[in-house]
Amino acid sequence: MMCGMTVLVYSAAWCRDCREAKRFLEKHNIPYTEIDIEETPGAADVVLANVGKRAIPQFVVDGQWMQPYRPGQGFLYDEMSEFFGVHQL
């Protein structure tokens, strides 16, 4: 796993894909800071400004935005495991 990285997760409590994304990070002991777009003023606008739509979850790793799921496919376990250098359990 990449050491010393900063991981932000833009999410919302009602979002099933967000819960799955956070479970993945927790299962692999990857520390993250959650930003709830419903609770944090301006957070939804930050997502919109960076990805062009209000799509969550979003990971921001050391400033790099990525969407860890694909509509209709769910969480991208293989891609995220490779990116973070972890093995699927």
Going along the chain from its start, the domains and CATH numbers come out as 7-84 (3.40.30.10)
Give the model's confidence band at 54: pLDDT under 50 very low, under 70 low, under 90 confident, else very high.
confident
Give the model's confidence band at 46: pLDDT under 50 very low, under 70 low, under 90 confident, else very high.
very high
Q: What is the pTM of this model?
A: 0.91
Residue showing tokens 């692999």: 28
Number of Cβ within a 10 Å radius of residue 57? 25
Residues 40/66, Cβ–Cβ less than 8 Å: no
| pLDDT, mean over the chain | 93
Q: Please give the sequence-ordered ranges of beta strands (E in DSSP) within 1-89, or none if there are none.
A: 7-11, 33-36, 58-61, 64-66, 69-70, 74-75
